[in-house]
Structure 1
Amino acid sequence: MIKLKSLIVIAVVTVISIGCTEDFLDTAPTDAISADAALSSPENMMLVLNGLHRIMYAQNPLPGGESSRSGESHFIPALDAQGGSIIHSSPGNGWMTADLQWLNHTNPNTTTVYNFWYQRYHFIASANSIINTIEEGDFAETPELNNILGQAYAYRAWAYHRLVTTFAKGYLIGNPSSDPGVPLVFSTEPPYESAPRSSVEEVYNQIETDINTSIDYLADASAPANKSHISINAAHGIKARVALSKGDWEVAATSAEAAREGYPLLSESEWLSGFNTYDLSEVIWGGRVIDSETNYFQSYFYYISPTFNGSQNRSNPKIISSELYDQIPETDYRSEAWLPLAPNTNPSASNDQGGGFESDPNYDSEDEFWNAWEEIIATYGMTSGHNTHPYMTVKFLQQNPGTIDPDDVIYMRASEMVLIEAEARAMMNDIEGAQEALAILGNARDSAFDVSEFSTQEELMEEIKFQRRVELWGEGFSFHDHIRWDEPLDHTNSGAARVLYQDGFTQDRPSENDDWIWKIPQAEINANPYITESDQN
């Protein structure tokens, strides 16, 4: 890694930012303690983990990086902008325009690739420090220590999986035994050696070892303090994601089923409540964002919520593909999460239909046009400065609309696990098993859902893909779903504007197009003697 010694010190020291209890979370300032002290006791190691829980969502500038592109708060919506799920209706204030135009991840000098790479290695370095200290030390085995080790191994598995699926060719569309993956780094002691790129297969082998070890420890661990912590259910969920991405269908199905145990699917009222709290019944893993450490104008809800009082949302309502939305049955209550007839009040809208009823094909008079806007503003609590747009999302709503107040970030839900199980069983050609899994979600969302309509593998997969695109819209999965399914990107009938999207409007399928593989940061190539320009993606 670049300046690996410094990276490890940063990882061990700067993540000591919060305490173990909710009271401490609400009151304590962000402080740092020495690396030796951080690893001196299980209690202090838990502080390191608590720092990682916060870094999952918070602003976290690294040397050479920017806080504006860090944490899942940024990368969840960014990956969906690149993958075509979240569609921008205008340039807005410029945030993420280069992401949806496919300019950021294809440039090795951008902060986007830098922060994604080094922040995940930050997680790895911190996990290494905990794992190595406990494994080499003389600590009594307790449920609390098992909890710490279980979470550390899970974080390392999660981070390596995020890296290898983003900076390497997809497992299912490449040659994993020979395709270059990412460096595997385990040392936390001098000489802090860097590492070459391991093969994709080698990285996956390590991920699987780590997540299995995590589950073993968490089986005999104390209960997680809250949903920000990685529970055994979340570890099973990470394992399910890993298995799905490599086509290990049986493991994906059984792990997904284990992950969702005890997490009932959302009711209609819960699903339409805004996805703003990890207290929702089916949230397995998420970040509780507190006032003192919020991201404000770099938060998840700033990027995606139509009610957040920031220029990104006021001038650029996010929309769903009109082609996708028009496939949602009227009997499916999820259709209420988008507004297909919202008036296009933005004169800067990229489709050239904004600013008034004259250019909006859905309205015939000025009064009708602005009355529709006023009703939306009043219903959802937006401000008078917010624009609306056809097919705009109202899936993500603030608890305190029209403000910049923070809300939680959701990383994993039971619905995702149901869909993983359904996809895995369909790919095994277990028609009955896939139908049973798919019906769990379909029946919960659509009063007229009939799973018997999907009786072949092809029919099941088409419906599963549709359900993923609707159910998990805006939750960060579309970019990697395209890679797993080897599907091209095409916004022709989506409502996206070619003038805004440029190169991101269409992209060939991942097996034929290496632009789906993110560039390695140039800073890594410059500093790592084991990686040269010839190793660049």
Structure 2
Amino acid sequence: MKNLKSSILLTAALVLISGCKEDFLETTPAEVVSDEQVGSSPAAAQGLISGIYASLRTFGIGGTTGHTDYGHMSAKIGSDMMAHDITMSFLHWYGFYHNLTGRLQTSTRTRLTWTTYYSQIAQCNLLINATDPATATDENLWLLGQAHALKGMMLLRLVQMYSSPYSQDPSALGIPIPDGADFLGKSRGTVQEAYDQIVSDLTAAVGYLSGFTRSSKQEVDLSVANGFLARAYLDMENWAGARDAALAARTGYTLAAYDGFSDLGNAEVMWGADIDAESSTVFASFFSHFGNTTPGYTGALGVYKMIDRALYDAIPVSDTRRDAFVDPVAGDPTGNGLPAYANIKFIDDTFFEGDYVYMRASEMYLIEAEARAMLGDATAANVLFELVSFRDPGYTLSTNTGNALREEIYLQRRIELWGEGVSYNDLKRLNKPMDRTYAGTNHAAFALLSYPANGIPSLWQLPEAEILANDNIPAVDQNARNEIKAFDLEEQ
């Protein structure tokens, strides 16, 4: 990151990011505005924010031409593929996430995640630096709040992927924290410094977004900003902060049927992207890869995404979430001949125009329950019951306490949020083992990996191009390669 130029998308145009040393993260959109225009024109500021939302669902935003490069949704699910709750039928797109080689510095996968978020953090900084809160109108303050919230969310995603968990070592190497849209490459700093910045951005967002009424769920509002903050506090084990932010985030939402994963109209969807014919990225899209009935890489080529058999077996037969997967005995209810355990959670009945769901209120129930449990609050079980009994009429109020209750909440996170981008970070922050090699496993041969607690090669390496381009990140500050057991394939 030698230089990140001040520039801004005014349309949903493709962001192109070059790979040379001098401008590894330089954005080159077709239309740009100056920071003076952003600071003085509400229309320019709105265009900047709209451009960020559009970029986060745009093909090629990560600087590659691969069909896993379609923005925030791709980065979220890519991290899930590195855990043990999703299986795939054979090595194809997302296979190098699944066998953990995508984390290596030479892989396009680690560059994709890095570039997707840092390119848009620069756009957030452009608006943040151009806006004076003391003189800004309410409209500009609401746009400023969205910029802070988006920046905080993206920094959180980056530190989760490229650094050790906060709970493990706050003094460990963190991530570069850009403070402008035009800056010299930053050093990695510490994990503590990264989370300090994340909390600073998100608490600012919560303040600025008070009173804001969004036009659609594609925009970040106060509830979503609180949701981001709840996630950050969960990582930091700030239990009171996580409890309060999660409760604030879910207030006003109602639980809904466990089938609203392609429609922002679902009552518990908090934030997402409305995909239509114009914005669809067709084969390079979430439903192409994870909608097993969609005529993309799943439905057409059979690169099915399935639930881990052991996790499926842990779902009670009375739980409606079990219906989100093909029963190995009853077979595929969709009539598409899907294999046992194939997910039918993500169904898009259109031609690649299913909406992207980024955040749901259900996650906030689970964060609040975990935070209350860790505080020794007896009401933790009640919060968990409110969610799980809505899914499973056979569920009874838990009598677990302490670690047993936390383990129950963790299991519910794995079930409820399957395929929604949280499972790999949970493995890291909770210091969980990963096992895909148990007797009767349904993981494919290329992904048969097993690691003890704290033994997963969990840190993504920084992209090689970043190490070469940024004099403030010496090679010695690169994350260790670590051994990848059973398979250690180089992927360019």
- Regarding TM over 0.5, the answer is yes
What is the CA distance between 1:140 and its match in structure 2?
Answer: 4.3
1:290 to 2:276 alignment: yes
Matched residue, 1:17: 12
Separation (CA, whole Å) in 1 of partners of 2:63 and 2:272: 27
What is the CA distance between 1:396 and its match in structure 2?
Answer: 0.9
Separation (CA, whole Å) in 2 of partners of 1:468 and 1:298: 28
Alpha-carbon contact 1:161-1:242 (below 8 Å) kept: yes
Matched residue, 1:416: 363
What is the CA distance between 1:462 and its match in structure 2?
Answer: 1.9
> Which residue among 172, 176, 185 is the counterpart of 1:194?
185
The alpha-carbon distance between structure 1 residues 321 and 67, as it changes in their structure 2 partners (threshold 3 A), is closer
Alpha-carbon contact 1:16-1:38 (below 8 Å) kept: no
Map 1:347-496 to 2 at 5 A. 376-377=334-335, 382=336, 387-400=337-350, 404-430=351-377, 432-452=378-398, 454-493=399-438, 495-496=441-442
Matched residue, 2:324: 337
What is the CA distance between 1:313 and its match in structure 2?
Answer: 3.7
Q: Which amino acid aligns with 1:393?
A: N
TM-score for both structures, normalised by structure 2: 0.89
Q: Which amino acid aligns with 1:121?
A: Y
Alpha-carbon contact 1:17-1:51 (below 8 Å) kept: yes
C-alpha offsets along residues 315-372 of structure 1, whole Å, 9 cap, x if unaligned?
12221122111222222111111112269xxxxxxxxxxxxxxxxxxxxxxxxxxxx6
Alpha-carbon contact 1:98-1:104 (below 8 Å) kept: yes
Separation (CA, whole Å) in 1 of partners of 2:190 and 2:88: 36
Matched residue, 2:251: 261
1:536 to 2:454 alignment: no
Matched residue, 2:482: none
What is the CA distance between 1:181 and its match in structure 2?
Answer: 0.1
Separation (CA, whole Å) in 1 of partners of 2:423 and 2:291: 18
Matched residue, 1:235: 225
Which one has a bigger Cα radius of gyration?
1
Alpha-carbon contact 1:154-1:235 (below 8 Å) kept: yes
Matched residue, 1:524: 466
What is the CA distance between 1:34 and its match in structure 2?
Answer: 3.3
> Which residue among 92, 102, 105 is the counterpart of 1:104?
102
The alpha-carbon distance between structure 1 residues 323 and 188, as it changes in their structure 2 partners (threshold 3 A), is closer
> Which residue among 176, 179, 183 is the counterpart of 2:176?
183
1:50 to 2:45 alignment: no
Matched residue, 1:169: 164
Instruction: Give aligned-pair identity as a percent.
Output: 30
Structure 1 regions of 5+ residues with no counterpart? 19-29, 344-371
What is the CA distance between 1:429 and its match in structure 2?
Answer: 2.0
Task: Work out the number of aligned pairs and report it.
Answer: 461
Matched residue, 2:116: 119
The alpha-carbon distance between structure 1 residues 111 and 496, as it changes in their structure 2 partners (threshold 3 A), is same
Alpha-carbon contact 2:62-2:69 (below 8 Å) kept: no
What is the CA distance between 1:232 and its match in structure 2?
Answer: 0.2
Please identify, of 50-59 and 253-262, the stretch whose mean Cα deviation from structure 2 is larger: 50-59
Separation (CA, whole Å) in 1 of partners of 2:38 and 2:65: 25
Please identify, of 157-166 and 67-76, the stretch whose mean Cα deviation from structure 2 is larger: 67-76
1:203 to 2:194 alignment: yes
Bigger fraction of residues in helix:
1
Matched residue, 2:484: none
Separation (CA, whole Å) in 2 of partners of 1:146 and 1:342: 55
Matched residue SS, 1:135: coil
Separation (CA, whole Å) in 2 of partners of 1:258 and 1:210: 17
Alpha-carbon contact 2:226-2:245 (below 8 Å) kept: yes
Separation (CA, whole Å) in 2 of partners of 1:204 and 1:85: 27
Separation (CA, whole Å) in 1 of partners of 2:282 and 2:64: 22
Matched residue SS, 1:74: helix
Matched residue SS, 2:131: helix
Alpha-carbon contact 2:83-2:427 (below 8 Å) kept: yes
What is the CA distance between 1:250 and its match in structure 2?
Answer: 0.7
TM-score for both structures, normalised by structure 1: 0.81
C-alpha offsets along residues 3-58 of structure 1, whole Å, 9 cap, x if unaligned?
423xx34xx2335438xxxxxxxxxxx96243355554111111111111122222
Separation (CA, whole Å) in 1 of partners of 2:55 and 2:385: 36
Tell me how large the CA RMSD over aligned residues is.
2.1
C-alpha offsets along residues 437-474 of structure 1, whole Å, 9 cap, x if unaligned?
1111122111121114x331122112111111111111
Q: Which amino acid aligns with 1:282?
A: E
Matched residue, 1:219: 210
Matched residue, 2:486: none
Q: Which amino acid aligns with 1:32?
A: E
What is the CA distance between 1:73 and its match in structure 2?
Answer: 2.6
The alpha-carbon distance between structure 1 residues 135 and 39, as it changes in their structure 2 partners (threshold 3 A), is closer
Q: Which amino acid aligns with 1:165?
A: Q
